[in-house]
């Protein structure tokens, strides 16, 4: 099994350019035979609050058509983040695009302080992904700060916990501690994707997208400021990093 975390450098208010970056990274992941790729929080727009309503995606947004085509072409699950409007409420969400033209949505359950001004939390959209013997649960950013979130994932027999985040250099150390702890406590591998460049109002991101095994050991991470892929392969039950180039 091969999976990838995409570390992107979003362009504010330029969804077209951000989509193009997604296409390129999906193609790179396909060259590594990745079966799943995950992008950071609100990767399609960059992290936004005030402009979220203007930039929001809908459940069946036609702007996702090319990602659907790429998922089918490469037989890959693509997880991309955006502000998503559902039944009149705006959520921070992830589109989970499957190779068979099916799509699910995950919505952020625990908001960061200040996000409640623009967004609503929701636990109603929380699908499990079953892929090549792994049971996969999603998290978005502040979800990982609430211990209930990984605990609930563990109750669902999760073996791979995937977090899409936007963390600054000031917060990334705590995120590393939390994700490593969850991996060891709940015996689940953890894959995290963060931005590798500035996002909200030019705020710096910390990069360092990473993977921990189910003992809580950090196996691989990307640089602090870079765009690219972290590619992991499972062989005979053991995870190892693959060169992205």
CA separation for the pair 50, 143 (Å, rounded): 21
User: For 158-216, how does the pLDDT look when each residue is reduced to its tens digit (9 = 90+)?
Assistant: 999 999 999 999 999 999 999 999 999 999 999 999 999 888 888 889 999 999 999 99
pLDDT at 94 over 70: yes
CA separation for the pair 5, 195 (Å, rounded): 10
CA separation for the pair 104, 71 (Å, rounded): 13
For strand 134-140 and strand 77-86, is the pairing parallel, antiparallel, or unpaired? unpaired
- HEC profile of 171-193: CHHHHHHHHHHHHHHHCCEEEEE
pLDDT at 229 over 80: yes
Please check whether residue 221 is in contact with residue 229, taking contact to mean a CB–CB distance below 8 angstroms: no
Helix locations, 56-171, DSSP H: 65-74, 148-155
State residue 197's pLDDT score: 87
User: For 141-153, how does the pLDDT look when each residue is reduced to its tens digit (9 = 90+)?
Assistant: 999 999 999 999 9
The domain segmentation of the chain, as residue ranges, is: 2-242
State residue 245's pLDDT score: 66
User: Which of 115-149 are b and which e, b meaning 16 or more Cβ less than 10 Å from the residue's Cβ?
Assistant: beebbebbeebbeebeeeebbbbbbbbbbbeeeeb
Helix locations, the chain, DSSP H: 15-31, 52-55, 65-74, 148-155, 172-186
User: For 22-68, how does the pLDDT look when each residue is reduced to its tens digit (9 = 90+)?
Assistant: 999 999 999 999 999 999 999 999 999 999 999 999 999 999 999 99
Tell whether pTM > 0.95. yes
Structure-token pair, residue 48: 């936004």
CA separation for the pair 93, 121 (Å, rounded): 10
Q: Please state the CATH superfamily assignment of the domain spanning residues 2-242 in this structure.
A: Carbon-nitrogen hydrolase (3.60.110.10)
Q: First vs last Cα of the chain: how many Å apart?
A: 18
- Among the listed residues 239, 235, 195, the one whose alpha carbon sits nearest the alpha carbon of residue 218: 239
User: For 114-135, how does the pLDDT look when each residue is reduced to its tens digit (9 = 90+)?
Assistant: 999 999 999 999 999 999 999 9
């Amino acid at each position: 099994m091969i999976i990838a975390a995409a570390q992107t450098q979003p362009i504010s208010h330029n969804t077209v350019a951000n989509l193009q970056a997604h296409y390129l990274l999906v193609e790179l992941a396909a060259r590594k035979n990745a079966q799943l790729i995950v992008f950071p929080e609100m990767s399609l727009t960059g992290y936004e609050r005030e402009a979220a309503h203007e930039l929001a995606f809908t459940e069946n947004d036609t702007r996702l058509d090319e990602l659907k085509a790429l998922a089918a072409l490469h037989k890959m699950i693509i997880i991309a983040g955006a502000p998503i409007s559902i039944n009149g409420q705006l959520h921070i969400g992830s589109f989970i695009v499957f190779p068979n033209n099916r799509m699910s949505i995950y919505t952020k359950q625990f908001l960061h302080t200040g996000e409640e001004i623009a967004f609503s939390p929701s636990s109603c959209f929380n699908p499990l992904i079953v892929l090549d013997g792994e049971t996969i649960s999603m998290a978005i950013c502040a979800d990982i700060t609430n211990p209930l979130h990984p605990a609930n994932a563990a109750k669902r027999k999760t073996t791979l916990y995937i977090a899409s985040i936007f963390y600054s250099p000031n917060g990334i150390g705590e995120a590393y501690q939390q994700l490593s702890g969850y991996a060891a406590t709940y015996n689940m591998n953890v894959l995290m994707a963060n931005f590798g460049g500035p996002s909200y109002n030019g705020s710096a991101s910390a990069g360092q997208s990473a993977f921990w095994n189910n003992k809580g050991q950090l196996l691989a991470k990307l640089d602090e400021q870079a765009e690219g892929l972290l590619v992991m392969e499972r062989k005979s039950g053991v995870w190892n990093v693959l060169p992205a180039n």
